[in-house]
């Protein structure tokens, strides 16, 4: 046997823990290994993930590790995972490699070097401007311009805020970065504070991310202890569960202890924000790009991506995909490359139907437009937006009307209630969509939906209301036939809407009673060796019988 | 105490009766002289009279024992309405822990929290979060106390606490089950998970907590574990890649 391994890493982010990572760590420790708990590397579909760095510096990765396998891993290499498809890692550079709770790990990987480079504030802003970095939270405002505005503001008291209120369902890159590499965000925030001349900063983190909150608090304690943050005072504030607080003016209201209701802009927060003072708000991912840009120069960042969208973007790949997780790709890559090459195609060999990009503010891009490059402008042309980077892949069993209804239900519930069109308009739109899903649509419903969508978009104050109709508009644009099937034929082509489908047992049935055992409401009588039947009156369309059937003998009508 | 006395009386009476009946058949019947016969007959009659008295005492003591002992025996939980197979598992879970204690409204915690977070209006959300973590919901008394101690007005506290999804104004069950209804979970069957959990815990329509106040079911927007969809979180423990059956299993981590 050669020299033993020098380092064993295990991913213990939220996803690693949820997959049983802690049991694996205990087993590794019991097997006699020294284990370093790191954050998530983005290969969430492979968790629990164990990496062994050999004495020669080669990394072996083991995926879906179970506690029983720990001994074998320590002894020899087993169950290797193929390395993740080629990606360009800037934001995720350290994720899954360093121990997030150990500042020395971060320092060893050039951490806080960007802060110590001694550039003047103007040079920093010039670098950010030159890199072409745009806000990664959704709207895509050029970060350098925002910083220059912040610097130009008069006044001695200024604030910086890191927006980590990642409420967009389907996006989790901010959670992962804060859990796995919190110092990177702190460094970015310190550079921002230095550039505009702020002495106080806040990180507004979603309360649903307890691990991210804990890691960030610990990182602040360590960095302050080492004197790395200078006179900058940082504090973590937890959100309280309101999606609208991701909007910058609402976030400030929330920090001030009020209801998170957006305000009219201008004045922009950068002119008059938190406590009435100039306030710079940037997203986690934006700030995580900053140290890399300063260290490698604006040119290196600008060399990646397309003309108006420079650098890389992190996407949370989820839904009906084989390899879900976090990926970082250069801008300009096509949706098809992401889904098929990095994501490994559609799960269970089904057909690729659409991707939902940008969450409740974004839209659905159909498979036929999959060659659209991922950049701010090309995506805006399709009606979707880059958003915060949630990319949910849908297959042919997903109903687009149901998806539109899902997002509208979300925005309707999260609307703060300030603007009438957002408050009531989304409610009326939701009613129409619910009617369609139940097969009770009225003839003029689609026109009414379009009219309302137009009103809501134009008459709302903040991004939530302005973009709320996007999921409806894009699905109407690309999947109008599905809406029409719901409306005129009272039929759900994807077999998804409970009120429009029926379950039937086909001739394939071998009478094995698996479906009868699985049915939670007793709608299938327990009759071995006979063809089973579904009792329509009892059936709740929960789909459990179809999933239980081994012989493909249950069809959806 | 009274139950103990009555109980021991019952035991004593039963012992006397048993002893009498055990001894009685040991005297074989045989022709005897008249005086001897009379003595035996008298002894039998006396024993019969004594046994009758003892029996009456026994009945009275047993009645007293049942009455006094009743409060000592714990009432079993009324069985939840039977639906189907999964009922037994839910039942066992409910019995595994005593029902949640009534929240004691010791408001000293509020005073401590105020001294930690300050009295300004900006402290409203951290204060509410601390109170909710401590009491597990926002009791009206605690909110009133906050208004007394700080600059925050009752209107502001009512506004803030009703705006944010995190805050609850009514008590919760022993465990909180958060079922993720994010996009990825929605397309992977979060609705079925929620429906199955509601059936399993027998949570009535329109409510979020089961009858024994063990589990509160909450639908949340996104737990940020999209690649493990569908996901739920029981207290602090996350479980992913669920099916309706494994979702019910996941609740057992609390037992």
Tens digit of each residue's pLDDT, chain A (557 residues): 334 455 788 888 888 888 888 888 888 887 777 788 888 877 878 888 888 876 666 777 888 888 888 777 776 654 455 555 668 889 998 888 899 999 999 999 999 999 888 899 999 999 999 999 999 988 889 999 999 999 999 988 999 999 999 888 888 899 999 999 999 999 999 999 999 999 999 999 988 888 999 999 999 999 999 999 989 999 999 999 899 999 999 999 999 999 999 999 889 999 999 999 999 999 999 999 999 999 999 999 999 999 889 999 999 998 899 888 889 999 999 999 999 888 888 988 889 999 999 889 999 999 999 999 998 999 999 988 888 888 999 999 899 999 999 999 999 999 999 999 999 999 999 999 999 999 999 999 999 999 999 999 999 999 999 999 999 999 999 999 999 999 999 999 998 898 999 999 999 999 899 999 888 888 999 889 989 999 988 888 888 888 888 888 998 88
Sign of CA dihedral A434, A436, A441, A445: positive
Q: Which residues of B touch A407 (CB under 8 A)?
A: 183
Q: How far apart are CA A530 and CA A485, in angstroms?
A: 35
Q: What is the mean predicted confidence (pLDDT) over B178-202?
A: 89
- Inter-chain residue contact A240 with B166, CB threshold 8 Å: yes
Residue B83 has pLDDT above 50, yes or no: no
Contacts of residue B184, defined as CB under 8 A and 6 or more positions apart, other chains included, come to A169, A170, A318, A319, A324, A392, B226, B227, B229, B230
The pLDDT score that the predictor gives to residue B89 is 47
Count residue pairs from A and B with Cβ separation < 8 A: 161
Residue with tokens 């009279």: B49
| Chain B touched by A242 (CB under 8 Å) | yes
Report residue B15 as tokens. Answer: 């012992």
Q: How far apart are CA A382 and CA B73, in angstroms?
A: 70
The pLDDT score that the predictor gives to residue A142 is 94
* Nearest to A150, CA basis, from A140, A139, A161: A161
Contacts of residue B253, defined as CB under 8 A and 6 or more positions apart, other chains included, come to B234, B237, B239
Q: What is the DSSP string of chain B?
A: -HHHHHHHHHHHHHHHHHHHHHHGGGS------HHHHHHHHHHHHHHHHHHHHHHHHHHHHHHHHHHHHGGGSPPPPPPPPP-STTHHHHHHHHHHSPPPPPPP--THHHHHHHHHH-SSGGGHHHHHHHHHHHHSS--HHHHHHHHHHSS--HHHHHHHHHHSTT--SS---SEEEEEE-SHHHHHTTHHHHHHHHHHHHTPPTT-SB-TTS-EEEEEES--S-GGG-S-EEETTEEE-S--HHHHHHHGGGG-
Q: How far apart are CA A410 and CA A413, in angstroms?
A: 5
Query: CB–CB of A374/A299 below 8 Å?
Result: no
- Inter-chain residue contact B222 with A167, CB threshold 8 Å: yes
Q: Which residues of B touch A542 (CB under 8 A)?
A: 192, 195-196, 244
The pLDDT score that the predictor gives to residue A2 is 39
B226 pLDDT tier (thresholds 50, 70, 90) = confident
Name the residue in chain A with its Cα closest to that of B200: A520
The pLDDT score that the predictor gives to residue B220 is 85
Beta-bridged to residue A51, according to DSSP, are A9, A61
Q: What is the DSSP string of B21-64?
A: HHHGGGS------HHHHHHHHHHHHHHHHHHHHHHHHHHHHHHH
Phi, psi for residue B250 in degrees, rounded to 5: -60, -25
- Secondary element (H or E) of residue A124: helix A121-131
Nearest CA distance, A536 vs chain B (angstrom)? 17
Q: How far apart are CA A226 and CA A523, in angstroms?
A: 65
Query: CB–CB of B84/A521 below 8 Å?
Result: yes
Q: Are strands B237-239 and B232-234 parallel, antiparallel or unpaired?
A: antiparallel
Rg of chain A taking only CA atoms, in angstroms: 25
Query: CB–CB of A220/A186 below 8 Å?
Result: yes
CATH of B175-254, one of 3.40.30.10, 3.40.50.970, 3.30.1280.10, 3.50.50.60: 3.40.30.10
The pLDDT score that the predictor gives to residue B100 is 45
The pLDDT score that the predictor gives to residue A421 is 94
Domains, in order of start, for chain A: 7-75 (3.40.30.10), 103-300 (3.40.50.11540), 312-395 (3.10.20.600), 400-488 (1.20.1440.230), 502-557 (3.30.70.20)
Query: CB–CB of A205/A305 below 8 Å?
Result: no
| Chain A touched by B227 (CB under 8 Å) | yes
Domain edges within chain B: 2-72, 108-163, 175-254
- Inter-chain residue contact A319 with B184, CB threshold 8 Å: yes
Nearest CA distance, B160 vs chain A (angstrom)? 5
Report residue B96 as tokens. Answer: 């595994």
The pLDDT score that the predictor gives to residue A393 is 93
Q: Are strands A312-319 and A390-395 parallel, antiparallel or unpaired?
A: parallel
| Chain A touched by B147 (CB under 8 Å) | no
Task: Say how many Å lie between the first and final Cα of chain A, rounded.
Answer: 61
Give the CA angle between residues B137, A408, A432 to the nearest 5°. Answer: 120
- Whether the model pTM is above 0.90: no
Q: How far apart are CA A318 and CA A312, in angstroms?
A: 19
Note which residues in 157-216 of chain A have CB less than 8 A from chain B: 166-172, 175-176, 207-210
Reported as a single tens digit per residue, the pLDDT across A490-523 is: 999 998 898 999 999 999 999 899 999 888 888 9
Q: How far apart are CA A405 and CA A400, in angstroms?
A: 8
Residue B172 has pLDDT above 90, yes or no: no
The pLDDT score that the predictor gives to residue A433 is 96
The number of beta carbons lying within 10 Å of the beta carbon of residue B43 is 11
CA distances A213 to A186, A206, A335, B176, Å, are: 13, 8, 32, 20
DSSP E strands in A105-208: the ranges are 159-164, 200-205
* Number of residues that this document lists for chain B: 255
CA distances B161 to A166, A240, A259, B114, B157, Å, are: 20, 9, 8, 16, 6
Name the residue in chain B with its Cα closest to that of A179: B224
The alpha carbon of B188 is separated from its chain's Cα centroid by a whole number of angstroms, namely 34
The SS3 call for residue A389 is coil
Tell me the Ramachandran region of residue A86: left when phi exceeds 0, alpha when psi lies from -120 to 50, beta otherwise.
beta
Of A15, A240, A259, the CB nearest to B129: A240
Q: How far apart are CA A194 and CA A308, in angstroms?
A: 27
Query: CB–CB of B229/B222 below 8 Å?
Result: no
* Number of residues that this document lists for chain A: 557
Phi, psi for residue B127 in degrees, rounded to 5: -65, -50
| Chain B touched by A418 (CB under 8 Å) | no
The pLDDT score that the predictor gives to residue B99 is 44
The number of beta carbons lying within 10 Å of the beta carbon of residue A72 is 14
The pLDDT score that the predictor gives to residue B101 is 45
The pLDDT score that the predictor gives to residue B86 is 43
- A329-365 burial, b at 16+ Cβ within 10 Å, e below that, comes to bbbbbbbebbbbebbbebbeeeebbbbbbbbbbbbbb
Q: How far apart are CA A524 and CA A542, in angstroms?
A: 13
The SS3 call for residue A50 is strand
Q: Which residues of A touch B239 (CB under 8 A)?
A: 18
Q: How far apart are CA B95 and CA B92, in angstroms?
A: 5
* Nearest to A179, CA basis, from A144, A205, A145, A156: A205
Which stretches of A162-233 are DSSP H helices?
173-180, 182-196, 210-225
Task: Say how many Å lie between the first and final Cα of chain B, rounded.
Answer: 35
Q: How far apart are CA B132 and CA A442, in angstroms?
A: 45
Q: How far apart are CA A496 and CA A486, in angstroms?
A: 11
- A217-250 burial, b at 16+ Cβ within 10 Å, e below that, comes to bebbebbeeeebbeebebebbbbbbbbbbbbbbb
Query: CB–CB of A476/A450 below 8 Å?
Result: yes
The pLDDT score that the predictor gives to residue A135 is 92
Q: Are strands A352-357 and A390-395 parallel, antiparallel or unpaired?
A: antiparallel
Name the residue in chain B with its Cα closest to that of A175: B224
Q: How far apart are CA A78 and CA A286, in angstroms?
A: 38
The pLDDT score that the predictor gives to residue B196 is 87
* Nearest to A194, CA basis, from A127, A285, A142: A127
Nearest CA distance, B88 vs chain A (angstrom)? 14
Give the CA angle between residues A432, A433, A436 to the nearest 5°. Answer: 90
The pLDDT score that the predictor gives to residue A118 is 85
Q: Are strands A325-330 and A352-357 parallel, antiparallel or unpaired?
A: unpaired
Q: At what angle do helices A182-196 and A121-131 cross, to 10 degrees?
A: 120
Residue B25 has pLDDT above 50, yes or no: yes
DSSP E strands in A199-351: the ranges are 200-205, 233-238, 279-283, 312-319, 325-330
């Amino acid at each position: 046997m050669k020299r033993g391994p020098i380092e064993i890493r295990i991913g213990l982010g939220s996803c690693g823990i949820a997959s049983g990572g802690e049991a694996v760590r205990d087993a590794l420790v019991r097997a006699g290994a020294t284990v370093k708990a790191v954050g998530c590397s983005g290969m969430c579909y492979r968790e629990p993930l164990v990496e062994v760095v050999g004495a020669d510096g080669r990394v072996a990765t083991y995926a879906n590790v179970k506690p029983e396998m720990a001994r074998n891993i320590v002894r020899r290499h087993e169950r290797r995972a193929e390395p993740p498809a080629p990606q360009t890692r800037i934001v995720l550079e350290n994720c899954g490699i360093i121990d997030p709770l150990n500042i020395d790990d971060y320092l060893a990987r050039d951490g806080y070097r960007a802060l110590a480079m001694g550039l003047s504030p103007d040079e920093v802003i010039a670098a950010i401007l030159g890199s072409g970095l745009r806000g990664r939270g959704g709207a895509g405002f050029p970060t350098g311009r925002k910083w220059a505005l912040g610097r130009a503001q008069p006044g001695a008291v200024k604030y910086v805020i890191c927006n980590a209120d990642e409420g967009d369902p389907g996006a989790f890159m901010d959670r992962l970065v804060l859990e796995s590499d919190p110092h990177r965000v702190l460094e970015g925030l310190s550079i921002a504070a230095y550039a505009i001349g702020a002495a106080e900063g806040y990180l507004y983190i979603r309360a649903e991310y307890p691990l991210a909150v804990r890691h960030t608090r610990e990182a602040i304690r360590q960095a302050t202890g080492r004197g790395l943050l200078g006179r900058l005072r940082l504090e973590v504030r937890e959100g309280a569960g309101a999606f609208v607080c991701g909007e910058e003016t609402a976030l400030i209201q929330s920090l001030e202890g009020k209801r998170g209701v957006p305000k009219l802009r201008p004045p922009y927060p950068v002119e008059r924000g938190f406590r009435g003072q100039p306030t710079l708000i940037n997203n986690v991912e934006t700030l995580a790009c900053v140290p890399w840009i300063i260290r490698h120069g604006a040119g290196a960042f600008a060399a990646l991506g397309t003309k108006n969208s420079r650098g890389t973007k992190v996407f949370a790949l989820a839904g009906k995909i084989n390899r879900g997780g976090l990926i970082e790709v250069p801008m300009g890559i096509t949706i098809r490359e992401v889904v098929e090459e990095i994501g490994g195609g559609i799960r269970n060999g089904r057909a690729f139907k659409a991707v939902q990009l940008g969450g409740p503010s974004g839209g659905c891009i159909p498979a036929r437009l999959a060659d659209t490059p991922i950049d701010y402008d090309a995506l805006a042309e399709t009606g979707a937006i880059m958003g915060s980077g949630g990319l949910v892949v849908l297959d042919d069993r997903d109903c687009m009307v149901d998806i539109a209804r899902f997002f509208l239900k979300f925005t309707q519930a999260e609307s703060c209630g300030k603007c009438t069109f957002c408050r009531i308009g989304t409610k009326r739109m939701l009613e129409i969509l619910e009617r369609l899903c139940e097969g009770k649509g009225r003839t003029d419903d689609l026109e009414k939906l379009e009219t309302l969508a137009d009103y809501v978009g134009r008459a709302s104050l903040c991004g939530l209301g302005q973009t709320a109709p996007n999921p409806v508009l894009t699905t109407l644009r690309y999947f109008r036939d599905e809406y029409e099937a719901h409306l005129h034929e009272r039929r759900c082509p994807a077999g998804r809407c409970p009120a429009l489908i029926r379950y039937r047992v086909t001739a394939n049935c071998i009478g094995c009673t698996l479906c009868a055992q699985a049915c939670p409401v007793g709608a299938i009588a327990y009759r071995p060796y006979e063809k089973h039947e579904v009792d329509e009156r009892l059936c709740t369309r929960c789909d459990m019988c179809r999933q239980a059937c081994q012989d493909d003998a249950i069809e959806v009508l | 105490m009274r139950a103990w006395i009555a109980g021991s009386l019952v035991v004593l009476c039963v012992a006397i009766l048993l002893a009498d009946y055990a001894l009685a058949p040991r005297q074989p019947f045989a022709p005897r002289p008249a005086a001897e016969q009379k003595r035996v007959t008298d002894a039998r009659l006396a024993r019969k009279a004594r046994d009758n008295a003892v029996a009456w005492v026994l009945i009275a003591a047993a009645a007293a024992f049942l009455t006094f002992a009743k409060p000592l025996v714990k009432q079993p939980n009324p069985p939840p309405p039977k639906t189907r197979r999964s009922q037994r598992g839910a039942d066992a879970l409910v019995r595994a822990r005593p029902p949640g204690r009534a929240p004691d409204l010791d408001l000293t915690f509020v005073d401590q929290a105020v001294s930690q977070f300050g009295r300004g209006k900006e402290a409203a959300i951290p204060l509410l979060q601390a109170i909710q973590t401590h009491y597990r919901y926002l009791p009206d008394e605690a909110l009133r106390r906050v208004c007394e101690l700080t600059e925050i007005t009752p209107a502001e506290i009512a506004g803030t606490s009703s705006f944010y999804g995190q805050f609850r104004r009514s008590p919760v069950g022993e465990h909180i089950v958060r079922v993720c209804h994010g996009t990825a979970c929605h397309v992977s069957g979060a609705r079925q998970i929620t429906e199955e959990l509601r059936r399993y815990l027998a949570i009535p329509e329109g409510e979020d907590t089961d009858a024994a106040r063990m589990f509160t079911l909450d639908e949340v927007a996104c737990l940020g574990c999209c690649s493990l969809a569908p996901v739920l979180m029981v207290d602090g423990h996350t479980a992913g890649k669920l099916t309706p059956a494994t979702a019910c299993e996941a609740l057992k981590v609390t037992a």
